[in-house]
A and B are shown apart, each in its own frame.
Chain A
């Protein structure tokens, strides 16, 4: 491990991408993630890599398509409205089975919304957003160090599965500063990509990167092949973290920035004698449903906390099959809930169950 540096989330993400071997980066400025292109505009020329500010988020994702198809490690980043623009390109990338990393530092919506943090792009990231049957691997860091670790993992997973991978952050994570260290990747060999369009020299079949298939039987077969891939990912890549769940009478479910706030609220609750715990999904897709479901075996209630009007809560209910009550608390519009607010909600939800 290298030395510890104090870095802003957006910049740590950018540096982590470079450590992961990101060769090209295409993006358009948008608050609250413009530090990512600004940092890479300075750093990439130093390393002989390619930084290009595209004319729009649409162009950027299509540049990603081209570079990924040519075999390079490539990334784009944006925030909610820009991620909406990228949906067509993401569908094409998934259909053509190309690896790439897409970063969403999400902000309040819908529409132009606000520039403060939000978690209201969960549906967009995990349930589609783009057309067709595809899945994005979605990783949700909740600290600047985790941003670094998951960004590097994102590139590796993208190449391993030939699939786009999204880092779901938010405006707060992008702006906060924490100490980070970067792993030494100097002995990591990047995988070969024999499928890439590098020029047909006759030593292999022609490589064609496409997603069009007009024959229904073939398109069905392609879709089934993609589904097998997603099943494989779901079987092996679910990630989550738990905090004080063993004896918990109320388990909070939260990710990203909100998970940190929930931890503080849980510590405050524990001091008051309330046995609260936290289940933190790290992969939003594949959602760590089985691990969460096992927590519902014991009698307790769940409280999903999000900066949205209720998106991940649906997956929580699905995972535990509504065997236990699932409550929901949120702040939206860019407002970040305080630990005190979350504590008040915890207290409210256990009030009726108090049997001390």
Chain B
């Protein structure tokens, strides 16, 4: 059971990928799908490994990510 959970507001993501560069467990990546803004949104590839550190949310310029933690 993961210590943390992140929720992405997919349709606000501009596909900048900055979150994927800072995740310490490297579980974020860019999705194949295209969102309403025409971007590939970021998504969690391995949610079980999320620690809820919120580093992704810290660097996200668009407040796309909500973070939950135990």
**A–B: direct contact at CB < 8 Å:** no
Q: Which residues of B contact A (CB under 8 A)?
A: none
